[in-house]
Amino acid sequence: MFKIVERTEMAQGTVVMNVIEAPKIAAKAQPGQFVMLRANETGERIPLTMADTDPEKGTITIIYQVVGKSTALFKTLQVGDFFTDVLGPLGKPTHIERVLGLVICIGGGTGTAVVHPITRGYKNMGNRVVAIIGARTKDLLILEDKMAAASHELKICTDDGSFGHHGFVSDILQQYIDSGEKIAEVVAAGPVPMMKAIANMTRPHGIPTQVSLNSIMIDGTGMCGGCRVLVGNKNQFTCVDGPEFDGHLVDFDGLMQRLSAYKENEAQATAELDHSCKLGQMK
């Protein structure tokens, strides 16, 4: 059992942050790695990249968007409640090194939580780091303060123009590319179309681009192969070969299709949950 010691709702309650007691995982975790969580005995195993860790306190931080039944169930857990299972740290850590040139870390939506420790890692390594984060609208932005602290420069975008740049994170990236400054590395995490757009933008310039994928998986240890994705025309397992891959080689369209595999089941499960919640309120 893994206790929740801190809980914050963000982005109008559509995003939740949990700090969880998991000392063994906290002691080992590195930026880019993920955990598998299960809320209760009937729950699904859900992979989430860690947004932060505190080895001294023995805690890890996860940030998730409430998108379906399992994350809705996560959201019901309060401080003092427990996740039945947390497994990790899984996946390969991000390869963070001192590079010659600018590092640009891009987070879209809850992808910002994924790039946060990576951004900080690049900065701590002595690189000059620009962070670009975006959301649909101002109220859905997360981690502005933390991203500001983790980088030298923070750029914020909203799709509707309610805050910062009116447009996409890729617009800002384009400005940096156009400026002619040498960009040594781009790291991106967020919705698949965003990562695809960024990879397409950096490819002609030969800018190394790492993307963090959020495939569907069961075990997280290489056993099921459900998270397979074509990278350079070769199947790779997101859980053990990733979750970060060379964005120029990832088959984003295939990834997007596989992410839609359980859309109908998800709708059914969420409807059942709504139904049982209403029944619960009636008691």
Residues in the chain: 283
Q: Among 12-20, 185-193, 205-213, 265-273, which window interacts with another protein (CB under 8 A)?
A: 265-273
- Smallest distance, another protein to C-beta of residue 75, A: 14
Q: Which is nearer to another protein, 61 or 236 (CB)?
A: 236
- Contact between 128 and another protein by CB under 8 A: the answer reads no
* φ/ψ of residue 33, rounded to 5: -85, 160
In the list 5, 65, 85, 159, the residue contacting another protein (rule: CB under 8 A) is 85
3-state secondary structure of 170: helix
- Show the tokens assigned to 199: 């990879």
Residue 277 host element (H or E):
helix 263-282
- Smallest distance, another protein to C-beta of residue 192, A: 13
The DSSP result for 93-123, as a single string, is PP-----SSEEEEEEETTHHHHHHHHHHHHH
Is the distance from CB of 205 to CB of 177 less than 8 angstroms? Answer: yes
In the list 11, 60, 62, 90, the residue contacting another protein (rule: CB under 8 A) is 90
Give the span between the Cα atoms of 179 and 103, in whole angstroms. 14
- Contact between 3 and another protein by CB under 8 A: the answer reads no
Q: How many residues bind another protein (CB under 8 A)?
A: 44
The pairing of strands 52-54 and 59-65 is antiparallel
- x/- letters, 206..235, toward another protein (CB under 8 A): ------------xxxxxxxxx-xxx----x
Q: Which is nearer to another protein, 125 or 256 (CB)?
A: 256
Give the span between the Cα atoms of 222 and 240, in whole angstroms. 6
Give the span between the Cα atoms of 78 and 81, in whole angstroms. 5
- x/- letters, 21..60, toward another protein (CB under 8 A): ---xx--x---------x---xxxx---------------
Residue 46 host element (H or E):
strand 46-49
Which residues in the 167-186 window bind another protein by CB under 8 A? none
- Contact between 254 and another protein by CB under 8 A: the answer reads yes
- Smallest distance, another protein to C-beta of residue 1, A: 10
Is the distance from CB of 134 to CB of 156 less than 8 angstroms? Answer: yes
Q: Which is nearer to another protein, 40 or 175 (CB)?
A: 40
* φ/ψ of residue 193, rounded to 5: -60, -35
- x/- letters, 64..83, toward another protein (CB under 8 A): -----xx--x----------
Give 42's contacts (C-beta < 8 A, 6+ positions apart): none
Residue ranges in contact with another protein by CB under 8 A:
24-25, 28, 38, 42-45, 69-70, 73, 84-90, 218-226, 228-230, 235, 237, 240, 254, 257-258, 260-262, 265-266, 268-269, 272
